[in-house]
């Protein structure tokens, strides 16, 4: 039995027994799972999304920065984000949710170089991006950048900026996908009688197999569900779930923290995401304050966690001007924030699910009936629209798995962490 859904505010939740048979089971109720459900329901599939927590988008998605950029170093990921941004900017007409506020602010991403070597790499990257058709990234001298953003430090020698990049409320986006998936008949362009339901506080414990070994269903903490197709979209838990089917999926869950300062008047609320190209330290406006973050490539991978711990040393590494990753290296006002006494702050934490080449896994696996949409390596929010559409097209045979650049069996080479 399903609880009556709020026609505006949320998806349909299964309160009692799970449906005995559906067209597709999606494991994971974060942003990738909800986006996959949206595209599957739009295509006419009966979908069950299984989430082990008691809310959708409540772990890694909730802890994300909530941002998007086209400034990538490969054409394939850039295409995913470009498709996603087009969806976000036209969310009402694409989903049928007329009054759904995604909190989109296109205030740009500003990458700052403090050394000549970093500046040279940035110039090479911009040239590469132009080869991908991304021709609106500005290269600025340090003086040009300071003229537009006076808070920048004198040590900035160069900056690259794209005004169309920006921020989004990632939880609102995930809930929008989920809500639209439960009322698919109202999605413009929907075919068939697709529909998605969400089973919360339910754990997948195994897979049901047919005589050929193909997946024919899932076993859960609330009983079995028969289905010809299962999609793993479980973020950092994806490797563990895949292992239940005997599939080795190289996912490395890695803790990532976000420093939240709710009220900091010195932050320009109309300003861009401001990033140190060398340390990866960055901040973006949020509310009346900011989010500040840093991707530390030395952070070891670990097991997936339902409750991700925080560590105050992370905040100190960003805020203490003596730290080699200090935000004060980008903007002197952070030194004043430190010396004046810190305002109220707290940390939020989730886990990135890194793949060896830092690119997602999308499509079929060696296990018949088992598909994946995971491994976004920190880019799940911005890639959610393009990645999920592609995953469902592959599942339905609309596109060729053999030519999919994000297929699981692609040749992979170790790739350096993106600075973000």
The pLDDT assigned to 337 comes to: 96
Q: Give percent above pLDDT 70 in the chain.
A: 97
Could you tell me how many helices (H) and strands (E) the chain has, helices first?
A: 11, 20
What are the CA-CA distances from residue 308 to residues 55, 60, 358, 370 (Å)? 16, 9, 21, 28
* Strand ranges (E), 277-338: 282-286, 289-293
Sign of the torsion formed by the C-alpha atoms of 387, 393, 394 and 399: negative
Cross-strand partners of 82: none
Q: Please state the separation of Cα 118 from the chain's center in Å.
A: 26
What are the CA-CA distances from residue 196 to residues 22, 199, 292 (Å)? 10, 10, 35
What confidence tens digit (pLDDT) does each residue in 10-46 have?
Answer: 999 999 999 999 999 999 999 999 999 999 999 999 9
d(CA 56, CA 209): 28
Contact 367, 375 (CB under 8 A): no
Q: Please state the separation of Cα 242 from the chain's center in Å.
A: 20
Q: How confident is residue 5, by pLDDT bands cut at 50, 70 and 90?
A: very low
As a whole number, mean pLDDT of residues 336-349 equals 94
Contact 166, 105 (CB under 8 A): yes
DSSP annotation of 373 reads: E
Instruction: Indicate the CATH number for domain 12-65+170-250+356-403.
Output: 3.50.50.60
Q: How confident is residue 244, by pLDDT bands cut at 50, 70 and 90?
A: very high
Per-domain boundaries in the chain: 12-65+170-250+356-403, 109-165+253-354
d(CA 314, CA 162): 28
Q: Which of 306, 20, 50, 83 is nearest to 178 (CA)?
A: 50
Instruction: Answer left, alpha or beta for residue 28, where phi above 0 means left and psi between -120 and 50 means alpha.
Output: left
**What is the fold of 109-165+253-354?**
D-Amino Acid Oxidase; Chain A, domain 2 (3.30.9)
Residue 212 has pLDDT above 80, yes or no: yes
Q: Give percent above pLDDT 90 in the chain.
A: 94
Mean residue pLDDT across the chain: 95
What confidence tens digit (pLDDT) does each residue in 182-192 have?
Answer: 999 999 999 99
DSSP annotation of 202 reads: -
d(CA 224, CA 372): 20
Contact 67, 381 (CB under 8 A): yes
Based on its alpha-carbon atoms, the radius of gyration of the chain, rounded to whole angstroms, reads 22
Tokens, residue 106? 């296109």
Lowest-confidence pick of 18-32, 37-51, 133-147, 400-414: 400-414
What confidence tens digit (pLDDT) does each residue in 70-120 have?
Answer: 999 999 999 999 999 999 999 999 999 999 999 999 999 999 999 999 999
Q: Please state the separation of Cα 236 from the chain's center in Å.
A: 12
């Amino acid at each position: 039995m399903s609880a009556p859904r709020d026609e505006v505010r949320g998806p349909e939740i299964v309160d009692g027994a799970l449906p005995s048979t559906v067209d597709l089971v999606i494991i994971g109720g974060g942003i990738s799972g909800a986006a996959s459900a949206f595209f599957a329901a739009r295509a006419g599939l009966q979908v069950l999304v299984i989430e082990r927590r008691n809310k959708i988008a409540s772990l890694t998605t909730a802890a994300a920065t909530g941002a998007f950029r086209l400034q990538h170093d490969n054409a394939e990921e850039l295409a995913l984000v470009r498709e996603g941004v087009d969806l976000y900017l036209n969310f009402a007409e694409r989903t049928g949710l007329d009054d759904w506020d995604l909190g989109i602010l296109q205030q740009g991403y500003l990458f700052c170089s403090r050394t000549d070597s970093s500046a040279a790499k940035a110039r090479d990257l911009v040239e590469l991006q132009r080869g991908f058709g991304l021709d609106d990234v500005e290269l600025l001298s340090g003086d040009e950048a300071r003229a537009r953003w006076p808070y920048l430090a004198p040590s900035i020698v160069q900056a690259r900026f794209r005004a169309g990049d920006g921020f989004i409320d990632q939880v609102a986006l995930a809930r929008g996908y989920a809500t639209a998936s439960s009322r698919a008949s109202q999605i413009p362009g929907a075919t068939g009688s697709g529909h998605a339901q969400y089973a919360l506080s339910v754990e997948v414990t195994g897979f049901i197999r047919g005589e050929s070994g193909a997946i024919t269903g899932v076993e859960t903490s609330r009983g079995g569900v028969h289905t010809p197709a299962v999609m793993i979209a479980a973020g950092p838990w994806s490797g563990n779930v895949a292992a239940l089917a005997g599939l080795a999926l190289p996912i490395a869950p890695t803790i990532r923290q976000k420093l939240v300062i709710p009220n900091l008047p010195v932050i320009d609320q109309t300003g861009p995401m401001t990033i140190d190209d060398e340390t990866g330290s960055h901040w973006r406006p949020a509310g009346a304050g900011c989010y500040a973050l840093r991707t530390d490539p030395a952070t070891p991978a670990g097991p997936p966690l339902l409750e991700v711990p925080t560590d105050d040393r992370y905040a100190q590494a960003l805020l203490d001007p003596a730290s080699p990753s200090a935000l004060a290296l980008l903007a002197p006002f952070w030194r004043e924030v430190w010396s004046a006494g810190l305002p109220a702050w707290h940390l939020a934490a989730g886990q990135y699910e890194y793949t060896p080449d830092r690119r997602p896994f999308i499509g079929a696996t060696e296990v018949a009936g088992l598909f994946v949409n995971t491994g976004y390596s920190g880019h799940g929010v911005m890639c959610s629209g393009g990645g999920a559409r592609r995953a469902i097209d592959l599942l339905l045979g609309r596109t060729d798995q053999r030519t999919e650049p994000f297929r699981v069996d692609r040749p992979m080479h170790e790739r350096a962490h993106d600075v973000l």
